[in-house]
Amino acid sequence: MSVNERIKAIRQAVKMSQVNFAKAVYISNGYLAEIELGNRRVNERLIQLICSVFGADKHWLQTGEGRMFNTTPELKLERIVALFKELNPSFQDYALKQIDQLLELQNGGDSGDSGMGC
């Protein structure tokens, strides 16, 4: 499996579309499509971004040896659920609102109020 194929495997493992994955690592979805097809070389900057954003293991991404992720998305989800359960209900509501706003920000939505202020 090539580094290009491993990038596609990471995208599929985190269950993201090419568009959203590309946005997360600051490249165009067309560029990502070319990478996944093997038509573009992968540079060190992109490898670093993918590892940083998605918790992918750099050695695995470069060589195919070892584990795909330093921490699996499932472990992150389990941690989030455990932490969420520890919050009192009003803070749970606040956390959900913040997650909704992060998703809107990630997906380029503009509600007119970023909700980032106090």
Rounded Cα distance, 56 and 73, in Å: 10
* This model's pTM is above 0.85: no
Rounded Cα distance, 45 and 27, in Å: 11
Say if residues 47 and 58 touch (Cβ distance below 8 Å). Answer: yes
Residue 42's nearest CA partner among 7, 9, 85 is 7
pLDDT tens per residue, range 88-105: 999 999 999 999 999 888
Query: What pairs with residue 69 in β-bridges?
Result: 56
The overall average pLDDT reported for the chain is 88
CATH of 3-63, one of 1.10.300.10, 1.10.260.40, 3.40.1080.10, 3.40.50.150: 1.10.260.40
